[in-house]
Amino acid sequence: MGRTNKIRSAEGKDRTVTSTMDYTLPTTQFSFDLNSSTLFRKDAYNFINVLGIKQLNTLENTSLLDIFLSKSNVVEPHYHQNAAELVYCISGAAVVSLINPFTNQLLNFPITPGMVANVPQGWWHYEVATVDGTHLLAIFDAPTPEVILGSDILLKTPASVWAHTYCMDEAKVKETFAPVQPRTFIGPPKDCVKGVKGTAENAENINMPAHVSPQANMPAHVSPQANMAPQPFGYSPYAAPGQYAQPYGTQYRQQPYVQPYPFFPNQVITE
């Protein structure tokens, strides 16, 4: 049977919302194993598991992404047009960066275990791991979070438009964007070889906040390589436009890569 609730709108008026979920059906789900629901997988240390109403049918206005990252890996710039995102750090450390559209400022928030950063609905943002073994939980106030990815914006906008709008050379725009992979999700890609110096050397040169050491606030029982066994994943060509779908996986050429990333801790950038 469905059920009826009353909620109050932003205008202060009550309205009735009816749930269509029949909790008497044998197909009703109350638990789910996220390890079987991989949205994207770069390698054994960098992957994202997804939980939405498609995976757990009793969910209402909530969903989540379970994010695992090694040092310097980035959840690519993107925004959610239908949901706000609360990023909770379980282990490791990361910097959550977002652009405030009301002040036109780039804001950077370092988070360590027990800390959160909130990204309002529709705000451009990205997350960068600053230590190995980083585990983030992204919680959304929607049953299926929709997403617009930076890689899709770069590739689906014609190079001629970029060139004309910003007075650029169209051939150079095409050359610059050629390596961008559709729906990157976690960058840089494994097959990226630009500026490779070796994992150890690159790790030492990464620009991190002075107060966030590589192992700061990491639980004693969590090592950079611990508890990061490969997870099962499936493959479908692409998610439906503007939505996270499951299962999803992408195969890359097997060339390891670590690259320093640019960000400006504790700094506000304005036009």
Which pLDDT value is given to residue 10?
Answer: 54
pLDDT digits (tens, 9 = 90+) for 171-221: 999 999 999 999 999 999 988 776 444 333 333 344 444 444 444 444 443
Q: What is the pLDDT of residue 265?
A: 43
Cα torsion angle, 43, 45, 46, 49, sign: positive
Q: Is the distance from CB of 131 to CB of 218 less than 8 angstroms?
A: yes
CA dist 234 and 253 (Å) reads 18
CA angle 93, 41, 147 (to 5 degrees): 80
At residue 22 the predicted structure's pLDDT band, cuts being 50, 70 and 90, is: confident
Choice between 233 and 74, residue whose per-residue pLDDT is larger = 74
Cβ partners under 8 Å of residue 75, min gap 6: 48, 67, 69, 126, 127, 128, 185, 186
Q: What are the Cα distances from residue 132, in Å, to 115, 138, 225?
A: 17, 18, 7
Please give the model's pTM, rounded to 2 decimal places: 0.68
Residue 145 banded pLDDT, cuts 50, 70, 90 = confident
What average pLDDT is seen over the chain? 76
Task: Please choose, from the candidates 65, 124, 121, 125, the residue with its C-alpha nearest in 3D space to the C-alpha of residue 95.
Answer: 125
Contact assessment for residue 126 and residue 97, using Cβ atoms and an 8 Å cutoff: yes
